[in-house]
Amino acid sequence: MEEVKLRRQGVQSKDHGLRMLPQEKVKDLIHLSLRAKEHAYCPYSKFRVGAALLAHDDRVFTGCNVENACYNLGVCAERNAISKAVSEGYRSFKAIAIASDLNDQFISPCGGCRQFMREFGSSWEAYLSKPDGSYVKMDVSELLPVSFGPEDLSMKKVFNIPNEY
């Protein structure tokens, strides 16, 4: 058996092709994510997170984390923002800004949220911020390399499950 080197391309179909956002837009998006953080409902973790999602037509959807007494039902800020957008008919995104109260670290989205972002393409931008507004930019394919996505479901298989399986 020989080793095969992986070289996966970014999913370009509904992506915005890594076009740079103007600095002012980035600042505004981060500001909106910081404001969304104010609504965080996190009595259990006491860890506030906010997100601001920029859609293809520049509409912004915000989200915060919403926890629950049944702990595992909590929802992350990023997933909340994405679900709000999708439920209003949006599936194409340019960027997401994420904010937390961490003083010295840029907020790092959890694995589940990375996969949730990747569902809608792998070459759009995430701005991971600090409360002072500083940020690092990573695209979704950097956050989740060698990812599994919707396209994989229809790739050629060695076995196709019959309908009566």
- Residues with catalytic roles: 78
Options 13-21, 40-48, 86-94, 143-151: segment touching ligand THU (CB under 6 A):
40-48
Q: How are beta strands 125-129 and 93-100 bridged, if at all?
A: parallel
- Exposure of 110 in the CB half-sphere (CA atoms within 13 A): 12
Q: Two tokens at 10?
A: 């970014």
By C-beta, is 11 or 113 nearer to ligand THU? 113
Phi, psi at 114, each rounded to 5°: -60, -45
Tell which positions 138-157 bind ligand THU, by CB under 6 A: none
DSSP 3-state of 30: helix
- From 33, 54, 78, 95, residue interacting with ligand THU (rule: CB under 6 A): 78
- For the bound state, the minimum distance from the C-beta of residue 165 to ligand THU, rounded and expressed in Å, comes to 36
By C-beta, is 18 or 110 nearer to ligand THU? 110
Neighbours of 21 (CB within 10 A): 18
- From 21, 30, 34, 49, residue interacting with ligand THU (rule: CB under 6 A): 49
